[in-house]
Amino acid sequence: MDDFAQHEPLFTFGVIADIQYADIDDGYNYSRSRRRYYRNSLQLLRNAQESWSESAVKPEFILQLGDIIDGFNKGRNASDRALDTVLREFSSSPVEVHHVWGNHEFYNFSRSALLSSKLNSTPHTDRSLRGARAGSDIYAYHFSPFPGFTFVVLDAYDVSLLGREDSSEQYRKAMHLIKQYNSNEDLNCPPEAGGLLRRFTMFNGGFSKEQLDWLDSVLASTDEKRERVTIVSHLPVHPHSTDPICLAWNFDELLAIIRSHSSVVCFMAGHDHDGGYCQDKCTGVHHLTLEGVIETPPDSNAFSTVSVYEDRMVLRGSGRITDRVFLFPGPQSDTDHRA
The alpha carbon torsion through 262, 268, 272, 278 (nearest 10 deg) reads: 50
Count Cα neighbours of 183 within 13 Å in the Cβ-side half-sphere. 2
Helix intervals (H) in the chain? 2-5, 40-54, 72-75, 79-90, 103-108, 111-115, 169-179, 209-224, 251-259
Binding residue (CB under 5 A) for Zn ion from 63, 67, 237, 329? 67
Helix (H) or strand (E) holding 278: strand 276-279
Residue 105 or 227: the one with the smaller Cβ distance to Zn ion is 105
* Whole-number Å distance between alpha carbons of 323 and 2: 12
Question: Which region, judged by CB under 5 A, interacts with Zn ion, from 66-74, 136-144, 149-157, 208-216?
Answer: 66-74
Least distance from Zn ion to the Cβ atom of residue 92, Å: 25
Work out how close the CB of 184 gets to Zn ion at its nearest, in angstroms, rounded to a whole number: 19
Q: Is the Cβ of residue 174 or residue 219 nearer to Zn ion in the bound state?
A: 174
| Interface with Zn ion: number of residues (CB under 5 A) | 4
Q: Which of 142, 228, 271, 338 binds Zn ion (CB under 5 A)?
A: 271
The one-letter code for the residue type at 118 is K
Sign of the Cα pseudo-torsion (211, 270, 36, 184, in order): positive
3-state secondary structure of 253: helix
Report the candidate in 249, 250, 288 with the shortest Cα–Cα distance to residue 272.
288
Stretch that binds Zn ion, among 97-105, 126-134, 176-184, 291-299 (CB under 5 A): 97-105
Determine if 103 is a binding residue for Zn ion (CB under 5 A).
Answer: yes
Q: Does residue 102 touch Zn ion according to CB under 5 A?
A: yes
Task: Give 23: exposed, middle or buried? Use CB within 10 Å, 0-12, 13-18, 19+.
Answer: middle
Site map 273..292 versus Zn ion, x via CB under 5 A: --------------------
Min. distance of Cβ 227 from Zn ion in angstroms? 29
- Rounded to a whole number of angstroms, the minimum distance from the CB of residue 101 to Zn ion is 10
Binding piece for Zn ion, criterion CB under 5 A, among 107-115, 159-167, 263-271, 301-309 = 263-271
SS3 label, residue 65: coil
Least Cβ distance, residue 94 to Zn ion (angstroms): 28
Distance CA 241, CA 187 (A): 24
Determine phi and psi for 302, rounding to 5 degrees: -150, 70
Q: Which is nearer to Zn ion, 4 or 30 (CB)?
A: 30
Stretch that binds Zn ion, among 25-33, 43-51, 67-75, 280-288 (CB under 5 A): 67-75
Residues that bind Zn ion (CB under 5 A): 67, 102-103, 271
